[in-house]
Amino acid sequence: MQTIVHRARDTWIHRTPVLVNAEGKLYLERVRWPHIHLQPFENMDALVAALEGMNLTRVG
């Protein structure tokens, strides 16, 4: 299982698992990220692009 590791505004490190729905699409259960919470993505590149659209920076 892939995991998004991120630092929240509270400075804590959080781990959010990347889940796969019945159609094979990727999604996150992260209520604090309402723009992408439970939204299906075709692949990891699309998910990363959505995270970058929220001003998150990929580091690895």
Domain assignment present for residue 20? The answer is yes
Domain assignment present for residue 27? The answer is yes
3-class state of residue 57 by DSSP: coil
Q: DSSP characters for 2-38? A: -EEEEE-TTS-EEEEEPEE-TTS-EEB--TT-TTTBT
Domain count for the chain: 1
What pLDDT sits at residue 58? 83
Owning domain of residue 49: 3-53
Domain assignment present for residue 26? The answer is yes
- pLDDT tens, residue by residue, 9-57: 889 999 999 999 999 999 999 999 999 999 999 999 999 999 999 998 8
Domain assignment present for residue 59? The answer is no
What pLDDT sits at residue 54? 94
